[in-house]
Amino acid sequence: MTVTVLDDLAVPPLAVERFEPFLSAAQYADLLDAAALARLILHDRVLWCVNSTARGGGVAEMLGSLLGYARGSGVDARWVTIDCPAEFLAVTKRLHHRLHGFPGDGGPLGEAERAIYEEVSAENVAGLVDRVRPGDVVLLHDPQTAGLVPELKARGAAVIWRLHIGADVPNDHVVGARDFLMPYVRHAHACVFSRAQFIWPEIDADRCRVVAPSIDALSPKNQPMEPATVTAILQSTGLLGDGLPVDSAFLRRDRSPGRVERRAWLIEDAPTPPDVPLVAQVSRWDDLKDPMGVVSGFVGALHDLGDAHLIVAGPDVAAVTDDPEGARVLREVTELWQGLSPEQRSRVHLATLPMDDPEENAAIVNALQRRADVVVQKSRAEGFGLTVAEAMWKSRAVLATRVGGIQDQIVDGLSGVLLDDPDDLETFGRKLSLLIYDGGYRARLGAAARERVRDQFLESRHLQDWVALLREVAPAG
């Protein structure tokens, strides 16, 4: 068991010059300055980025791009994934739920869990510590990596711990998870949170920073796509019925051509007709994403939704190695679907998307988000919710719960629609119906959504935030 340093293929260098078409002249000049400063700060150091998985979920999604742009700027940035045995993941998944304010599986976070956590952390740090040199910068992501902080700091590295999750209103679950992690994270040179409300009062305020996540406008997930390609990709994967797929092409991160060839695994009575109004949620299979609520809310409002169909899509559960609960959640949603009336069932489709080629998966998600008339993100808790920014960037009308970072992205009624109470399925259905029937409203929301992402949630802003932090934590010698 040891850590994995991803090879160059997994993290191709990306040129920051690619942002030029999206930014104002002043924004673009600031970005080039930040890239130059990063080169200066890190010219004789390695930037290590450590997390638990290279695919599935928002963190992996962001790291591929951020590290690519760092490398493209001339920084020696390396992506490391730690090894996570099942018993360790059970503990960190518990921590994940608790930090969001939920009980998760309800299990303890006591001495036995700490022993597992520390044993695995020690094995992982042993695989890394000799490669990290004094002065290097290490960015550790989320609860899975917190146990690595003390030893890497002792090694002489500048250690930043970045947490992507948090609770709007901290409760006992949150406090319990923080207590568990504090012995490790208290040693970090800086701790980074996705929103000010997520900052831990237990950590000295002068070591806490806020950096909002972002999307890469040019990745296979978000790159522009012609409507004909959208249809071709969705038909070739089986997500839409009818027609002969013509050209399911997309551009890979390294700009070489790719083609969507694999099929999704679908739980449905018949394929989604190509021309119906479409509602979609794309998320990991996780209770906090509330796929059950999406299905229940949709079928509850079925007679007010015209002939709309719903696709709830998520990754192939076998592929997301740091998510032990995915298979159970998918099974429960499937059972819910099986229990629907034939009419309801015919309008709801569950899809697991192939993950063998992450860029192909991204192109499928891109196409699905673009084809959806309404993108839903009915989460019960959310660190940020990249799926929301992704859909907003595609000028989609998004209906999402007012939780976590979603409320930083959507201004209710202007750049999307917020649902206050995740359990209020009646209001969910009513808001969905309004959106389905009012194309003008959808278009206005979508246009404002794209501008909001352009202003605040593109990778260019994110890169500059990181460089500003590096300047403080690891000043140029």
Site for ligand UDP, rule CB under 6 A? 57-59, 61, 221, 282-284, 313-315, 353, 361-362, 365, 384-387, 390
Query: C-beta of 59: minimal distance to ligand UDP in Å?
Result: 6
Neighbours of 428 (CB within 10 A): 25
Cβ distance to ligand UDP smaller for residue 59 or 211: 59
Q: Which is nearer to ligand UDP, 200 or 384 (CB)?
A: 384
From the number of C-beta atoms within 10 Å of its C-beta (0-12, 13-18, 19+), residue 326 rates as buried
Question: Given the complex with ligand UDP, which of 57 and 150 has the nearer CB atom?
Answer: 57
Whole-number Å distance between alpha carbons of 468 and 466: 5
Nearer to ligand UDP, 158 or 163 (CB): 163
Least distance between ligand UDP and beta carbon 323 (Å):
8
CA proximity to 12, closest of 85, 58, 65, 59: 65
Our CB check for ligand UDP shows the closer of 64 and 150 to be 64
CA nearest neighbour of 290 among 198, 377, 358: 377
Q: Give the nearer residue to ligand UDP in terms of CB position, either 49 or 313.
A: 313
Minimum gap (Å) between residue 1 Cβ and ligand UDP: 25
Residue partners of 216: CB distance under 8 A and separation at least 6:
62, 65, 222, 458, 459
* Coil, helix or strand at residue 251: strand
Between 284 and 309, CB nearer to ligand UDP: 284
Supply the minimum distance, in Å, between the C-beta of residue 396 and ligand UDP.
Answer: 13
Ranked by CB distance to ligand UDP, the top (closest) residue is 58
> What phi-psi label fits residue 476: left (phi over 0), alpha (psi between -120 and 50 degrees) or beta?
beta
Q: Smallest Cα–Cα separation from 324: which of 94, 83, 51?
A: 94
Return the SS3 of 4. strand
Q: How far is the CB of 131 from ligand UDP (least distance, A)?
A: 27
CB of 279 to ligand UDP, least distance (A): 16
**Residue whose C-alpha is closest to residue 259's, from 364, 412, 407, 402:** 364
Nearer to ligand UDP, 189 or 452 (CB): 452
For the CB of residue 307, give the shortest distance to ligand UDP in the complex, in Å. 26
CA dist 93 and 99 (Å) reads 10
CB of 93 to ligand UDP, least distance (A): 12
- Measured between alpha carbons, how far is residue 111 from residues 187, 231, 272, 471 in Å? 21, 53, 50, 38
